[in-house]
Amino acid sequence: MKRIFRKSWGAELVEGGTRFRLWAPGQDQVRLRIGAQDHPMHAEGDGWFELMVPEAGAGTNYAFVLMDGQVVPDPAARAQAGDVHGPSRVTDPCAFDWSPWEGRPWEEAVILEIHVGTFTPEGTFRAAMEKLPHLVETGITAVEIMPVAQFAGNRGWGYDGVLPYTPHPAYGTPDDMKAFIDAAHRHGLMVLLDVVYNHFGPEGNYLHAYAPDFFDPDRQTPWGAAIAYQREPVRRYFIENALYWIEEFHLDGLRLDAVDHVRDPKSEREILVEIAQRIREANPGRHIHLTTEDNRNITRLHERDGDGRIKLYSGEWNDDFHNVAHVIATGESEGYYADFTGDHWGKLGRALAEGFIWQGEHSVHADAPRGEPSAHLPPTAFVDFLQNHDQTGNRAFGERLLALSSAPMVRALMTIHLLSPHIPLMFMGEEWGEVRPFAFFTDFHGDLAEAVREGRRREFAAFGEFQNESLRAMIPDPNALSTFEASRIDWDRANGEEGRDWLAFTRHLLQVRAQRIVPHLAGAPGHGGRVIHADEGLIAVDWQLDGAVLRMRANLTDHPQDAPAASGEILAGPPLDAPLPPFTVTCLLEAAA
């Protein structure tokens, strides 16, 4: 089976050669460079330049030459000949044969977030393929890949990408990425991709040189120039990118990064809405799963229709759950954790029962109201996590939760996390109790490297433990190779005694989830969660699911506590006829209309 998506931008193999197309409204003329020869491109109007080259085929290297002689890569290239500054390369999407795959429904999702470069010692898609049986045996059903859009240098998190259509070559070729996705499908695993539509990275973005109208001069994001989504070519660039990944790479879904900075107030149809609608219209009958990261705690992108079906986005990354769980586990209270210190037991109960904690109340950290009511959404509208790339890597030293809290507390929180009816996400290695850090790393050079290094250290200057300049100097240099290498997960730990014990624990919970809880999630209603008790370290929450009530009783203290009564078959934990032991969770399931 062949898969190809025809883009408006860039190089497309067509009958009789290759069509090259670039939107360059800041240029009166553009030339196409192939080898040592330049070919004038035809101005098509509205800033578009196009040229058909019969002799250009797969493997042809090309670039665009601007009026001042500057040579730039194709911003919609499927592949580069080298780094982000050099020529692009024509590729043939039809060279790859896909296996049949129908996908899996959203309620079955148990997501493992991975960074390809640190997931294996080799850091490639091909090496990651060898680890897929481990994921299946663990109970993972979906792999979420951190961004792969090509960025400057060889190593980085991927959020500084500048070529959104180009898989980062350090991880392998486009066909290597396709082979990984196809192999995952053959193992029954969904594959999701993190995409960044809110900014471009600081090195290798040449759009300013020939398409200044691509950007909004009146707005900046925390990471660079804001984007003018209301302009039709710009809009098409991102919508087609989303369709490209879903259709040409046969992905099961996308996670859209920081959509609170994808602002499109001037368009009749907001671009976030149009992206979801276009994907669903183009893929009727496929299980497509779209999620968002958005610190506003809004719900309009995740509403269901009258029959409970997903209209736009399947779920929202729920930072509120992580933040309150982290405060409980570690006692930390600086930065945004300040909003989760008071009544943290009640806040954990609310996160479990209703999704968001902040639903319009005044946030101390933001000094403004935050969020909207969320209890009406089904539990599967929330993607919960105890660890992810952000919450681990944006710490000064990238510590994992086990380095910050006790093993009994972490196990209790993992039980809550994996057996709640929300969609669970784990970070690579978490399934075996990984303790290696995941730090922030880049591969910049010169002044940019120095700016990133010092900016990273200034970022933590407001935290009490880093008031001393000498302590800030101990924060790992993001550009050092050692910082990247120290962030690779430790597969040897997975095979050690402690790792095997953690894996058995994780596998048991995910087996219980798959067999007993997932069958009741597809039709789980909104307003189904209810906090029974949430105080003094004792949490009791019930959820009305589809045909069953799930009951959870958790003691997150170091002493026994009497839990509220609960009926049903015990899925995990001890009976409730005696005080609940320290750091223990009991879950029960009772058939109900």
Place of tokens 């949490």: 539
Q: CB count, 10 Å around CB of 173?
A: 17
Q: Are 214 and 173 in contact (CB under 8 A)?
A: no
Sheet strands (E) in 430-477: none
HEC string for 320-366:
HHHHHHHHHHHCCCCHHHHHHCCCHHHHHHHHHHHCCCCCCCEECCC
What is the torsion angle, in degrees rounded to the nearest 10, for the CA atoms of residue 231, residue 289, residue 195 and residue 335?
A: 110
Q: Are 45 and 96 in contact (CB under 8 A)?
A: no
Tell me how far apart the alpha carbons of residues 165 and 148 are, in angstroms, rounded to a whole number.
9
Q: Which amino acid is at 431?
A: E
**203, 293, 316, 430: the active-site residue:** 293
Determine whether 320 is an active site residue.
Answer: no
Tell me how far apart the alpha carbons of residues 425 and 260 are, in angstroms, rounded to a whole number.
21
Tell me how far apart the alpha carbons of residues 588 and 568 are, in angstroms, rounded to a whole number.
5
Among 112, 85, 115, smallest CA distance to 440 is for: 115
Which pairing describes strands 71-72 and 42-45: parallel, antiparallel, or unpaired?
Answer: unpaired
Tell me how far apart the alpha carbons of residues 506 and 101 are, in angstroms, rounded to a whole number.
27
Residue 86: is it exposed, middle or buried by C-beta count within 10 angstroms (0-12/13-18/19+)? middle
Give one word for 110, left, alpha or beta, with left for phi > 0 and alpha for psi -120 to 50.
Answer: beta
The token pair at 463 is 């935290």
Tell me how far apart the alpha carbons of residues 443 and 164 are, in angstroms, rounded to a whole number.
18
Tell me how far apart the alpha carbons of residues 330 and 406 are, in angstroms, rounded to a whole number.
9
What own/partner pairs with CB < 8 Å and gap ≥ 24 does 408-411 have?
408/582, 408/583, 409/328, 409/329, 409/556, 409/583, 410/329, 410/386, 411/505, 411/583
Q: Are 312 and 254 in contact (CB under 8 A)?
A: no
Q: Are 502 and 435 in contact (CB under 8 A)?
A: no
Determine whether 577 is an active site residue.
Answer: no
Q: Name 52's Cβ contacts closer than 8 Å, sequence gap at least 6.
A: 14, 16, 17, 18, 19, 20
For residue 48, the cross-strand partners are 23, 45
**74, 107, 144, 257: the active-site residue:** 257
Tell me how far apart the alpha carbons of residues 324 and 552 are, in angstroms, rounded to a whole number.
17
- What are the Cα distances from residue 120, in Å, to 405, 520, 525? 26, 35, 40
Active site residues: 257, 293
